[in-house]
């Protein structure tokens, strides 16, 4: 069994266990979850975004995780052929898709994957947080000391199986 299927099956079992405890848990699975994404910069040029991401990781003392994504003309970014597996190559899963977890690292994402974002941009992302949370406000305040133009933008992240 490949990792993606294993992860999805494990996630399903976890959700079923939680739903046995609370009936509403199952209603919230396989849906989009509102999140705030903290954006440092956006660019139509991948090399410019990559340079900004590397600088941000050093300046903010955060991990840089490009998730092995590479620029791909038709879809913006793509995972490797091996990672695309069942999805078909090229493929791109937006940061957070599947688990909709909050996180705190630097990455480059493609704006087309996020609802409400302008199309065609490589975005340097510093974190994903709950909407208008104290955590988001604290992270943004800290980031704004070095990046005064950074902002949080609301979107929806998929929470559910990815196959």
Q: Are 78 and 92 in contact (CB under 8 A)?
A: yes
Q: Which of 1-10, 34-43, 90-99 has the lowest mean pLDDT?
A: 1-10
User: Rounded mean pLDDT of 52-77?
Assistant: 96
pLDDT at 128: 96
Portion of the chain with pLDDT greater than 70, in percent? 82
- Residue among 125, 109, 108 at smallest CA distance from 50: 108
pLDDT at 24: 45
User: Rounded mean pLDDT of 135-145?
Assistant: 97
N-terminal to C-terminal alpha carbon distance within the chain: 13
Q: For residue 103, what are the contacts with CB-CB under 8 A and spacing of at least 6?
A: 95, 96, 127, 128
**pLDDT band at 98; cut points 50, 70, 90:** confident
24 vs 88: which has the higher pLDDT:
88
62 vs 6: which has the higher pLDDT:
62
Tell me whether strands 31-43 and 122-129 are parallel, antiparallel or unpaired.
antiparallel
pLDDT at 100: 85
Give percent helix, percent strand, percent coil of the chain, each to the nearest 5.
Answer: 35, 30, 35
Q: Two tokens at 124? A: 């340097």
Q: Are 136 and 152 in contact (CB under 8 A)?
A: yes
């Amino acid at each position: 069994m490949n990792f993606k299927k294993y992860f999805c099956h494990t996630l399903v079992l976890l959700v079923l266990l939680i739903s046995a405890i609370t009936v509403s848990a199952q209603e919230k699975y396989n849906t989009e979850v509102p999140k705030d994404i903290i954006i440092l910069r956006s660019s139509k040029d991948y090399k410019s975004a990559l340079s900004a991401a590397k600088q941000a990781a050093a300046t903010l003392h955060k991990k840089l995780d490009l998730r092995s994504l590479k620029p791909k003309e038709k879809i913006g970014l793509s995972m490797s052929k091996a990672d695309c597996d069942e999805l078909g190559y090229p493929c791109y899963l937006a940061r957070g898709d599947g688990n909709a977890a909050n996180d705190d690292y630097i990455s480059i994402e493609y704006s087309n994957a996020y609802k409400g974002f302008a199309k065609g941009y490589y975005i340097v992302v510093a974190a994903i947080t709950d909407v208008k949370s104290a955590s988001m406000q604290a992270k943004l305040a800290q980031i704004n000391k070095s990046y005064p133009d950074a902002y949080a933008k609301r979107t929806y992240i998929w929470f559910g199986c990815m196959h």
